[in-house]
Amino acid sequence: MAWDKTDQKATLRYRFLEMLLESATDYAIIGLDLDGLVMIWNKGATAILGWSEEEMIGQPAALFFTPEDRQSGIPHGEMQTSIKNGRASDERWHVRNDGSRFWASGEMMPLKDESGTVRGFVKILRDQTRRRMAEERQALLAQELAHRVKNTLAIVQAISSQTLAGEVPFAVARESFNARLMALARAHDVLMNGSWTEASLLDLVASTASLHGNQDPQRFHFAGPDIRVGPRAALAFALVLHEMSTNAVKYGALSVPNGKVSVLWETVEDTSDPELWFRWEEAGGPPVLPPAKRGFGSRLIEHSFSQHSGGVVKVEYATAGVRLSVKFPLASLQRATD
């Protein structure tokens, strides 16, 4: 009778261990012999790695290691480390049955009998690909943020040095500096809508028109396709549009009741490299005279667009009103990196 009870306990214990193995579907639990051949393969291993139990029993565990790790002797090294240290922890890429790779955190431990002799190994894996990808995205975002902040601070530094250059009254300089920072901030808002990879040129022009055109389409008319431009081009257009509109309000077409500003752009596709043609034109304002010396606006236009190769920028001080013509290859303006 005692033998029956012992046998029953052993059977119950075996069933419990079996249920434990098969219930841990989020974990690949793999038993190996001393040669690294698979002896136990639970449902979690099938779910994560793709091989069935029948396919893997008797096969080397090295099958789900990457070729480069197999070549480096990682599978055997893990077994040796687990014997030496009692366990071997790792985080690395592994290979599924279909050839795809996934990032896994793993533990390998030696299996010992009552005498302490190592009889095999147990390897436990968990798919951590989502965590790994999230960490990589977070690191990339941190690098991107640092890059954007540095670029923005460089632009702010350039604006401040140019605005405060020369004998400009402090109140005037402060007003100009604040206005330019607001133009930069609005450009950032437009870029945020494009996840900082692109911005709508239409939105940039519309933002300028709403601020300086008194919501009157007859006085500030703009039209063109909804071209997407990269971050650097977006900031350049935002600052140049701000300078042009500010000058128009103070001295140009928008300084008088009947003056008008027209902003038009189009894409030209019949060339080997498609181009963007952009034009700002004022009319009906006070007579225009060329400036006696290059001011901040002229330097800003040259600096903002000089980084886009293959482009042509032209500013004309016609008597009827200031004209700005810009022609650039679309590929240059649409670069996502800056």
What is 2-127's CATH topology? Beta-Lactamase (3.30.450)
Find tokens 């299996």 and name the residue.
111
Per-residue model confidence (pLDDT) at position 86: 93
Per-residue model confidence (pLDDT) at position 333: 80
User: Tokens standing for 310?
Assistant: 């293959």
Residue pair 45/28 in contact (Cβ under 8 Å)? The answer is yes
Q: Binning pLDDT at 50, 70 and 90, where does residue 294 land?
A: low
Quick check: pTM over 0.95? no
- 208 pLDDT more than 50: yes
pLDDT tens for 97-143 read 999 999 999 999 999 998 999 999 999 999 999 999 888 888 877 77
**Using CA of residue 239, residue 241, residue 242, residue 248, what is the dihedral sign?**
positive
CATH fit for domain 132-333, picks 3.20.20.70, 3.30.565.10, 3.40.50.300, 3.30.70.1060: 3.30.565.10
- 184 pLDDT more than 80: no
Angle value at C-alpha 107, between 103 and 108, nearest 5 degrees: 125
Q: How is the chain split into domains, by residue range?
A: 2-127, 132-333
- 271 pLDDT more than 70: no
Closest C-alpha among 159, 155, 213, 218 to residue 188: 155
The H or E element spanning position 301 is helix 296-306
